[in-house]
Amino acid sequence: MDDADEVFKALADGSRRMLLDRLNAHDGQTLTELCAHLHMSRQAVTHHLTALEAANLVVTTWRGREKLHFLNPVPLQEIYDRWIRKFERSRLRAMRALKRRLEEPRSA
């Protein structure tokens, strides 16, 4: 499967997006910390974290006996570069053309 497929698949789930939000608010959490205040079983959170890790959106590192989870925003940047930037370009062109047309009468 393509890398981008993994990222879109991982993002196509509200619980997984919420886990990314929680890491964005506080990076480097253990599984126990991530499970706190969540209406989700530990198994469900583990399952979602596995999908996020497969998509490289979450990376882990060991600190002593604790496994810490970190948000990796790089794949989101790649999606932005590949799928959003180029559409922004055409939007900006359209806005420039509109600006030119609106300003023409004044300069004429």
Partner 1 sequence: MYVIYIAASADTVWKALLDGEFTRQYWERDNVSDWAPGSSWEHRRIDGGRDPAILGEVLEASPPHRLVITWAEPSDRMRRDRHSRVTFDIEPVADMVRLTITHDDLEPGSDMERKISQGWPRVLSSLKSLLETGRPLKTWAGR
Residues at the contact surface with partner 1, assessed by CB under 8 A:
3, 56, 59, 61, 70, 72-74, 76-78, 80-81, 85, 88
16 with 58: CB under 8 angstroms? Answer: no
Rank residues 44 and 59 by Cβ distance to partner 1 and give the closer one. 59
Residue 56 CB, nearest approach to partner 1 (Å): 6
Residue 82 CB, nearest approach to partner 1 (Å): 9
Residue 106 CB, nearest approach to partner 1 (Å): 28
Rank residues 42 and 93 by Cβ distance to partner 1 and give the closer one. 93
Rank residues 32 and 77 by Cβ distance to partner 1 and give the closer one. 77
Closest CA to 49 of 2, 26, 3, 17: 17
19 with 45: CB under 8 angstroms? Answer: yes
